[in-house]
Chains A and B, each alone.
Chain A
């Protein structure tokens, strides 16, 4: 697990690549975890499906949001829905999916059932945002 943390934390939590609220966006989706107070907002800009996230919470959630933006930018809503399902599969089974690239960094979360919700929270917020587009 600490290996997983080193991989994602150092890379994405300290220097997130897509964090912040864009000046303009077409839709927003929000996620919150009542258990730990994690909050995330996903902003979608329709032109070319540009995404940003505003995350406040644990390392797994923040890293997941940042990796998710990388994986979904420029994709269609249908592609994103399929990715969300594939990602949920990875974090609940621990089996990496070669098609998911860097998202596999979170596969180790499966060992901690109480944390799976942290990894999938940004994806739920994104699905909500897409419904609002």
Chain B
């Protein structure tokens, strides 16, 4: 464990994140809520400030210096995102507000054009509401069916259930998370993609959590759609991405109508721009997109393999230390899991845990984590959740354990 961490200078990296020097209730901030949204390194903050101070105008419009420079910087991020997830082409990257909007875009445009009433969309029991509710809305508006693939008590996909759901050949889309935001489970996306394709279905992968912790290769996993948000990847809020295979995007009708997404407009009829711009109506989140580019550069310079190894060591440490607290139970025991750990404590409600930890400067999430059906499956109404990032230290996990011991004593 420690040998891995020696190759990863967490102390130096923490210097890159100004907020980590803040005090909370007079205590050092121990930020263990990065799965909800990660903190931002100085390079991201500076990149965004620089755009506004030195290089700003609207994109794709102006025939003047500032617009051209800004358009170049904006479009360069599309190349960065494409390279980051190993897309085959920059034109397969659509900028959205976040993963939620990406999934809604797919449900609204592809769902209503490629799916027929009676076709089935399958999701798993461990999806975030963002990968459940849009498919319910599609069902209600368009007459598709929604099926739920069960998970095992360990928190892994139940392969028998998967096969049952696909048995009648009506599933046309498998929409699945790559990493549960509650259980930390990684799903076997390459195997799932093979399975979906063998059954005549497409696969949408919600990479919101996974993209932060693992090297993503959309071509190796053979994803038809892959979505993520910038703000969990140390970038700003308000920018996310949708990857879709070029041939799929080509047939998808627009999402929102307006400027920038058209080829030509007349009162009688308008025609649409080619992807990806067809799906980017209106002035985009220029500043945030450039911030995302800086975040990708930052993460890439450290390297996802190094980040993954660091976080694996943190996770192993947490899984070794936290169960020593009397009455604490960690939810999910998946073989392949990452640095997102949900737990409950005997007698102490998750919100009480979070409030008492907050008093000690420790930030964890508590609640249903936008996964209410999963809470029902796990037999709880809410959990507390600690999640790790590249700037998390072993000492912070020890601080969490100490803090939880104090919570236990209050409720003992």
A interface residues, Cβ below 8 angstroms from B: 1-2, 5-6, 9, 35-38, 56-60, 112, 115, 118
Check B199 for interface membership: any CB of A closer than 8 A.
no
Known contacts A1-B359, A60-B352, then 14 further A-B pairs from the complex at CB < 8 Å, ordered by chain A residue: A1-B356, A2-B356, A5-B352, A6-B410, A9-B352, A9-B410, A36-B366, A37-B368, A38-B381, A57-B349, A57-B381, A60-B355, A112-B355, A112-B358
Bound form: Cα–Cα A36–B348 in Å: 13
Whether A36 touches B382, Cβ cut-off 8 Å, given contacts A59-B349, A115-B351, is: yes
Contacts of A38 in B (CB 8 A): 349, 351, 381
Check B406 for interface membership: any CB of A closer than 8 A.
yes
Whether A36 touches B350, Cβ cut-off 8 Å, given contacts A1-B355, A112-B358, is: yes
Contacts of B358 in A (CB 8 A): 112
B interface residues, Cβ below 8 angstroms from A: 348-352, 355-356, 358-359, 366-368, 375, 381-382, 406, 410-411
Contacts of B375 in A (CB 8 A): 37
Ordered by A's residue number, 10 sampled pairs between the chains whose C-beta atoms are within 8 Å are A1-B355, A35-B368, A36-B351, A37-B368, A38-B351, A38-B381, A57-B349, A60-B351, A112-B358, A115-B355
List the 9 closest A-B pairs by CB distance, nearest first.
A37-B381, A58-B349, A58-B351, A1-B359, A59-B352, A36-B351, A37-B382, A58-B352, A36-B382
Checking B356, B359, B381 against A36 with a beta-carbon cut-off of 8 angstroms, the contacting residue is: B381
Contacts of B349 in A (CB 8 A): 36, 38, 57-59
Bound form: Cα–Cα A40–B47 in Å: 49
Whether A118 touches B356, Cβ cut-off 8 Å, given contacts A9-B410, A37-B381, is: no
Q: Tell me if A35 and B367 are in contact (CB < 8 A).
A: yes
Bound form: Cα–Cα A5–B356 in Å: 9
Contacts of A57 in B (CB 8 A): 349, 351, 381
Bound form: Cα–Cα A60–B381 in Å: 16
**Smallest Cβ distance from A30 to chain B, in angstroms?**
15
Bound form: Cα–Cα A5–B358 in Å: 13
Q: Tell me if A5 and B381 are in contact (CB < 8 A).
A: no
**Smallest Cβ distance from A80 to chain B, in angstroms?**
26
**Smallest Cβ distance from B375 to chain A, in angstroms?**
7
**Smallest Cβ distance from A84 to chain B, in angstroms?**
22
Contacts of B410 in A (CB 8 A): 2, 5-6, 9
Bound form: Cα–Cα A56–B380 in Å: 11
**Smallest Cβ distance from A2 to chain B, in angstroms?**
6
Q: Tell me if B355 and A36 are in contact (CB < 8 A).
A: no
Candidate in B355, B367, B368, B406 with the most chain A CB atoms within 10 angstroms = B355
Chain A residue nearest to B348 (CB atoms) is A59
**Smallest Cβ distance from B363 to chain A, in angstroms?**
12
Q: Tell me if A36 and B367 are in contact (CB < 8 A).
A: yes
Chain A residue nearest to B380 (CB atoms) is A37
Bound form: Cα–Cα A35–B368 in Å: 7
Contacts of A35 in B (CB 8 A): 367-368
Q: Tell me if A118 and B351 are in contact (CB < 8 A).
A: yes
Bound form: Cα–Cα A118–B352 in Å: 10
